[in-house]
Amino acid sequence: MNSTTSLPLHQGGITPISALHPDIFQSHILALLDGPSLASLACVSSQLHALSTHDILWFNICSSTWPSLNHPRLQQIISTFPSGHRSFFSDSFPFPDLQPLKLDVNSCTLPTELIFAVDVYYQNQIIYSKVEELDTSSSWFLCSPFRVDLLDPKDSASTPVRYLGGSQDEAWLQHLEENLSLSWIVINPTRKKAVNVSSRRAVSVQRHWLTGDVQVRFGTVTAGDEGRGSSRELVECGVVVTCCGKEGGEMHVREVCMVMEDMEGKGLNGKDSLVILEGVIEQGRRKGGEGNEGKVKFEEFQERKRERKEENQRKERVLDLVCITVGVVGFVSFWSAILFK
């Protein structure tokens, strides 16, 4: 029986992974991989798993993927996650799956603080980053409409992107839809968990009818906390980036905000929004995907909203007809009783 001996590469043979020094393998091979590739490689063997789970690798991946994570407070919080940056990436990279919420969340278990790590990209290059810490324990927040604004109404953030319009308006809006992307990570520092609630790619781009500003929407549709047929069967977590500028000049980001709306377009208050967000974070169901999946779900949600509105209008017309009929019958009966008394 012939035996084969592994030879060094320069002798035409194959060098096994075990022959490479771990530092060389990590710095020259693993450090070049993105998050999904590194996670897949970790499943190949116990040796590769040990090499692929070093926190420095995942720290570099997270920092390059989401520049907002370089915030000192976030680094401290992520270090407390079960597996550090690897756990954070696992929570934040994929989409939350659209499944009925089974978590029974009450006022005692709602988070008292949420942290938002937000990054806006143009052609995969960062143009705006912000970390926002939100106190969610006050009665004012719990009862008020849920809305998170990252920019003061008087401020705006400049970008290197040229602002176009006029005769190029339609093509410009399409260009923004294809090239502008956003990540909005919600972090619960107490539970040491996170979720990315952005669709990443825009689900709609349009000009505001009054101001002329461009509004780019990133929406994630998730299961609500009520049963089928209710207004909160599905809920949209909508993020709107408003851009302004002079034609041919620099584009400015004037507004970045997040709201929660039900199937009737009504905004949820702070407490109800926390229930939804906490349910999505705790659910644990995740699936990957970039593409246009977010836009497909958004359009399906809009169609469901339209159908629900039409159904409510039909019910209102029937109720109005019943009320009119009862009124007429009552009127006729009243006068008949008087005339034939």
pLDDT, block means (10 residues), the chain with 341 residues: 41 56 72 85 82 90 94 94 93 68 58 94 93 94 94 86 82 91 94 91 90 90 79 89 89 93 91 89 60 77 83 85 85 76 62
Domain final residue, candidates 89, 124, 148: 89
Check whether residue 181 and residue 80 sit in a common domain.
no
Is residue 166 within 8 A of residue 247, CB to CB? The reply is: yes
Q: Does some domain include residue 120?
A: yes
Check whether residue 84 and residue 111 sit in a common domain.
no
Check whether residue 77 and residue 104 sit in a common domain.
no
* Domain boundaries, position 43: 21-89
Q: CA 138, 142, 143, 147: dihedral to nearest 10 degrees? A: 110
N- to C-terminal Cα separation, the chain: 121
Q: Does some domain include residue 244?
A: yes
Check whether residue 72 and residue 221 sit in a common domain.
no
pLDDT of residue 20: 61
Q: Does some domain include residue 191?
A: yes
Q: Does some domain include residue 314?
A: no
pLDDT of residue 42: 82
Check whether residue 71 and residue 207 sit in a common domain.
no
Check whether residue 65 and residue 207 sit in a common domain.
no
Q: Does some domain include residue 336?
A: no
- Give the three-state DSSP class for 242: strand
Check whether residue 41 and residue 141 sit in a common domain.
no
Check whether residue 74 and residue 142 sit in a common domain.
no
Q: Which residues contact 116 (CB under 8 A, 6 or more apart)?
A: 130, 131, 132, 133, 134, 148, 150, 184, 185, 186, 187, 258
The residue behind tokens 């960062």 is 126
Check whether residue 49 and residue 148 sit in a common domain.
no
Q: Does some domain include residue 240?
A: yes
Q: Does some domain include residue 326?
A: no
Is residue 95 within 8 A of residue 294, CB to CB? The reply is: yes
pLDDT of residue 341: 62
Sign of the alpha-carbon torsion through 165, 255, 219, 72: positive
Is residue 241 within 8 A of residue 213, CB to CB? The reply is: no
Q: Does some domain include residue 3?
A: no
* Backbone phi and psi for residue 137, each to the nearest 5 degrees, phi listed first: -95, -15
pLDDT of residue 221: 87
pLDDT of residue 142: 93
Model's pTM, two decimal places?
Answer: 0.84
Is residue 86 within 8 A of residue 58, CB to CB? The reply is: yes
What gap in Å lies between CA 266 and CA 208, rounded to an integer?
Answer: 20
Is residue 148 within 8 A of residue 257, CB to CB? The reply is: yes
pLDDT of residue 57: 92
Ordered DSSP codes for 310-332 = HHHHHHHHHHHHHHHHHHHHHHH
Check whether residue 80 and residue 101 sit in a common domain.
no
C-alpha closest to that of 238 among 214, 211, 267, 272: 267
Residue type, 64: S
- Give the three-state DSSP class for 185: strand
Check whether residue 134 and residue 201 sit in a common domain.
yes
Residue type, 41: L
Q: Where are the beta strands (DSSP E) in 123-249?
A: 125-135, 147-149, 157-162, 180-188, 193-196, 204-207, 214-223, 234-244
Check whether residue 163 and residue 273 sit in a common domain.
yes
Number of domains in the chain: 2
Domain final residue, candidates 89, 110, 134: 89
Domain final residue, candidates 289, 310, 336: 289
